[in-house]
Chain A
């Protein structure tokens, strides 16, 4: 077990959403300075890999980009996603024991349908990795733990009906921060009940409570789930200096968490305290992954005992953990029809706001209730963007575990939608055969891509 820790550092020094946007060239500059000056890349425990591009098909396998992938991503997005895939390959092949994709831009707010950029995200790096690991390496059970201060709503959306993906997100309470979701009652769809667990934490939560959640909820549930791969959406805006969040985690706590969770892959998400937090947290996470002493890493303005938490808030979090543990324990015993109904489809309506691109999306998501598989998903979506004509799409997604009858039924649904001609674009995403099809009404034309 002398395997190395793989790193891909892709700071994208020539890419920004806009010059003064938090997601700009400067974001990983001080992280670079810190890890280069420490000589981290020269440590015998570390192997640095070159970034690579994800293919457009890698993206289509995960998202419905409207109208097509090229219109939603820049090369920087493909490199951030591709670097994540590179480390995934290296972990699966056994070349490295774990890895950290320190990449920009982030992705955990990107949902299944992508009309534009939300929360600085266009495509979801972890989700693209999950679908890739399944397709390329036959991996089934995967746990994603999201440690960003914002709810990982994109990742949740993508795996809400997938019983083989455990998604745990702890974050600042959605009533006080973007995107306003991630409450304890969001537990997953009928076929994946309690495979989604959300831990909304009160603003001001500090290391002690963070570790309580990790020790009492995250670690036991992940262990119980027995995933083949553990991924950490390593957002760093829970830090006490972050300008967007109001939490009080320290770099040391992030490292302790990493050491305990032992993720196979950490993927950088948010974190906008680019001077006061990122250099220290990133260094600490790298050292924790590589099993190197990180006790000398410390923010210059930190002293032990700096943050005290109120007992009421702590007690509130303890109760929440109890409740979530109960949901987890009862996940296979609950009365699913009672919660979700007994129709052919389970259906929910969603309203999604794209804060970066000012798009309003209305969505109806239906999942086929099937005894043999997680069921295919149908999405009808309508997006409005200022004065432009709204875009309507219809999308069908077949999960990689689909049973035969769901698969053939899904194709019928797709063909019907084409005939009805109500939507501008119609998509078929068949993960069981790795085929993605786009039909454009105006041109009456269909494009197919295969992996």
Chain B
């Protein structure tokens, strides 16, 4: 049996799956102490189920997202080695940021050495200011990590108790500013995350659960809980990923659908294209800064069931703030939830109070309560529909760097609009009608995120970049830099090497079965010609385990593919 648990900001959802059937589900309020709510949810779904039968538990948690949002972490100082390029005024991260000399180029060749004195000055400056956590990031460090390592070892020799995080270990893809943010956040959250992992492990042990324990990442893949300490920030925004995977499991395979998760104050939108959730091309944004974390493409619209509605002159406006519960549930202001109540689209709260809320808005304008309610609902729907259109347009506008990528670009439209979350039922039919798709509220929509966690499978990737002229290769995900031993080193050799690294990574995480199937998602070969002579080749290879879910939730039990 599989367990999926989504620890959200307001509530914690849990499901128990048995061979493709939802055996039990529970929703409990999230408390400040995550472990307490987690145990509570766990106990409810495990009632009468022997712990030995639990093969697997997957968590999705907003813990890291919240830590970052609430700035509940120790300050992190930053040492950057940006070299020439963009002006340094672009590198601003709301913390002490020190710049030192030194530069690598795009092939990892040193073009400017480090200067000892500058390193020493930077360290003593951070020390004076009381920092004990430092992020060290150099431009092109994923092509050559020598400078980052040198600076880190200097820090360690002077301050063995400091926590130092290096850019090349956190994220390997090119994008220096995003790597800086990722490294800083990884440095900031690592301790707290380890603490969380230990508590969860202890709690599960107390309940006798000995199955494998995983955590969901922003890209919808899972990682064994105990191994993920390497990159805790990969778990940010796993909430939306959980709902999207849940929907993927609850609708038939191969569908193109929009997932609309309408909550109290925000509505999250995601796409499932021909059965596969869409990955964002940009890396997850943390507030106004982009990170290098691979994530599903999720768009958050600042409107939900509890958004406040006000009359301004002859206009009725829906704001993005929340001032408590809807009027029909004892709140201070009218909300879209009140409008749904008046139109009979929900049974939530007090009908008379909802009518009163509409009259407050409508009477000065001479509008009936149902007219007002319909107008509010239309405004919310228009907003959501606009964003859905924008999301599709953005997807069509994704850049492409190869001829075949341009040629295979297709226009796709959703067959269905799938509603999950509290206020979904009232809106989905009309949203779907507007974009010409079928409305779907799947069974268990309320706990779709927990289902998503339960069905998520591990994802592993390896990006190999080999430069035969310089005789070395790098593995982005590992921050590894190694010598090419074979000569000549052919494309076949590069593919083999990438495959071996995927296996190595799988072993490291205890995911050996995951690599039985693998797919190469990129295999670029660049012939290097210098002075009319071929001097080497660059191979860019990406290999990964297939993305997907364990299976679809069947109506009569048994996972279906």
By a beta-carbon cutoff of 8 Å, the part of chain A in contact with chain B is 8-15, 19-20, 22, 24-26, 29-30, 32-34, 36-43, 48-53, 74-76, 79, 243, 275, 279, 283, 287, 292-298, 300
* Known contacts A42-B175, A79-B403; A296/B139 CB under 8 A: no
B125 at the interface (CB under 8 A from A): no
Please tell me which one of the listed residues A9, A19, A52, A75 contacts residue B527 in the complex, with CB atoms under 8 A apart.
Answer: A19
Residues on B with beta carbons closer than 8 Å to the beta carbon of A243: 531
Residues on A with beta carbons closer than 8 Å to the beta carbon of B525: 25
Residues of A contacting B: mostly:
loop
B69 at the interface (CB under 8 A from A): no
Closest B-chain residue to A42, C-beta based?
Answer: B290
Chain B interface residue count, CB cutoff 8 Å, equals 45
A424–B529 Cα distance when bound, in Å, is 41
Please tell me which one of the listed residues A14, A33, A53 contacts residue B524 in the complex, with CB atoms under 8 A apart.
Answer: A14
* Known contacts A29-B538, A34-B106, A293-B87; A24/B529 CB under 8 A: yes
- Whether B526 and A26, one on each chain, are in contact in the complex, defined by CB atoms closer than 8 angstroms, is yes
Give the one of A11, A43, A51 with max B CB within 10 A.
A51
Q: What is the CB-to-nearest-CB distance from A30 to chain B, in angstroms, rounded to a whole number?
A: 5
* Known contacts A283-B85, A296-B84; A50/B527 CB under 8 A: no
Residues on B with beta carbons closer than 8 Å to the beta carbon of A53: 406
B43 at the interface (CB under 8 A from A): no
- Whether B534 and A50, one on each chain, are in contact in the complex, defined by CB atoms closer than 8 angstroms, is no
A37–B401 Cα distance when bound, in Å, is 16
Closest A-chain residue to B289, C-beta based?
Answer: A42
- Whether A295 and B105, one on each chain, are in contact in the complex, defined by CB atoms closer than 8 angstroms, is no
Residues on B with beta carbons closer than 8 Å to the beta carbon of A8: 399
A98–B176 Cα distance when bound, in Å, is 25
- Whether A37 and B407, one on each chain, are in contact in the complex, defined by CB atoms closer than 8 angstroms, is no
Closest A-chain residue to B465, C-beta based?
Answer: A33
- Whether A37 and B175, one on each chain, are in contact in the complex, defined by CB atoms closer than 8 angstroms, is yes
A6–B250 Cα distance when bound, in Å, is 40
A298–B532 Cα distance when bound, in Å, is 26
* Known contacts A26-B527, A37-B175; A50/B397 CB under 8 A: yes
- Whether A32 and B403, one on each chain, are in contact in the complex, defined by CB atoms closer than 8 angstroms, is no
Please tell me which one of the listed residues B111, B140, B524 contacts residue A25 in the complex, with CB atoms under 8 A apart.
Answer: B524
Please tell me which one of the listed residues B84, B88, B407, B529 contacts residue A75 in the complex, with CB atoms under 8 A apart.
Answer: B407
* Known contacts A24-B527, A300-B105; A39/B400 CB under 8 A: no
- Whether A9 and B178, one on each chain, are in contact in the complex, defined by CB atoms closer than 8 angstroms, is no
B334 at the interface (CB under 8 A from A): no
B409 at the interface (CB under 8 A from A): yes
- Whether A10 and B527, one on each chain, are in contact in the complex, defined by CB atoms closer than 8 angstroms, is no
* Known contacts A32-B401, A75-B403; A39/B527 CB under 8 A: no
Please tell me which one of the listed residues A29, A48, A75 contacts residue B526 in the complex, with CB atoms under 8 A apart.
Answer: A29
A295–B470 Cα distance when bound, in Å, is 30
Please tell me which one of the listed residues A11, A33, A42 contacts residue B178 in the complex, with CB atoms under 8 A apart.
Answer: A42
- Whether A36 and B174, one on each chain, are in contact in the complex, defined by CB atoms closer than 8 angstroms, is yes
Residues on B with beta carbons closer than 8 Å to the beta carbon of A9: 399, 401
Q: What is the CB-to-nearest-CB distance from B189 to chain A, in angstroms, rounded to a whole number?
A: 22
Q: What is the CB-to-nearest-CB distance from A208 to chain B, in angstroms, rounded to a whole number?
A: 22
Q: What is the CB-to-nearest-CB distance from B60 to chain A, in angstroms, rounded to a whole number?
A: 27
Residues on B with beta carbons closer than 8 Å to the beta carbon of A10: 400-401, 406
- Whether A292 and B87, one on each chain, are in contact in the complex, defined by CB atoms closer than 8 angstroms, is yes
A42–B179 Cα distance when bound, in Å, is 13
A292–B89 Cα distance when bound, in Å, is 11
A15–B402 Cα distance when bound, in Å, is 8
B404 at the interface (CB under 8 A from A): yes
**Residues 133 to 165 of chain B near chain A (Cβ within 8 Å):** 139-140, 143
A19–B528 Cα distance when bound, in Å, is 9
A49–B290 Cα distance when bound, in Å, is 19
CB-defined A-B contacts under 8 Å, sample of 19: A9-B399, A19-B534, A24-B529, A25-B525, A26-B529, A30-B106, A30-B107, A34-B85, A34-B106, A36-B175, A37-B106, A38-B176, A39-B290, A40-B86, A49-B397, A53-B406, A296-B88, A297-B84, A297-B85
Residues on B with beta carbons closer than 8 Å to the beta carbon of A19: 527, 534
Residues on B with beta carbons closer than 8 Å to the beta carbon of A283: 85
Please tell me which one of the listed residues A40, A50, A296, A297 contacts residue B400 in the complex, with CB atoms under 8 A apart.
Answer: A50
Closest A-chain residue to B176, C-beta based?
Answer: A37
Residues on A with beta carbons closer than 8 Å to the beta carbon of B239: none
Residues on A with beta carbons closer than 8 Å to the beta carbon of B177: 39, 42
- Whether A26 and B89, one on each chain, are in contact in the complex, defined by CB atoms closer than 8 angstroms, is no
Residues on B with beta carbons closer than 8 Å to the beta carbon of A76: 403
- Whether B174 and A33, one on each chain, are in contact in the complex, defined by CB atoms closer than 8 angstroms, is yes
B519 at the interface (CB under 8 A from A): no
A30–B400 Cα distance when bound, in Å, is 17
A74–B402 Cα distance when bound, in Å, is 13
B112 at the interface (CB under 8 A from A): yes
A30–B174 Cα distance when bound, in Å, is 12
A40–B178 Cα distance when bound, in Å, is 11
Residues on A with beta carbons closer than 8 Å to the beta carbon of B84: 296-298, 300
Closest A-chain residue to B84, C-beta based?
Answer: A298
- Whether B538 and A296, one on each chain, are in contact in the complex, defined by CB atoms closer than 8 angstroms, is no
A89–B522 Cα distance when bound, in Å, is 32
Please tell me which one of the listed residues B402, B407, B409, B532 contacts residue A50 in the complex, with CB atoms under 8 A apart.
Answer: B409
Interface string of B72-111 (1 = CB under 8 A from A): 0000000000001111111000000000000101110001
Q: What is the CB-to-nearest-CB distance from A410 to chain B, in angstroms, rounded to a whole number?
A: 36
- 12 other contacts beyond A22-B529, A42-B175, with CB at 8 A cut-off? A13-B526, A14-B404, A24-B527, A25-B526, A25-B527, A26-B527, A33-B174, A39-B176, A42-B177, A275-B107, A283-B85, A297-B86
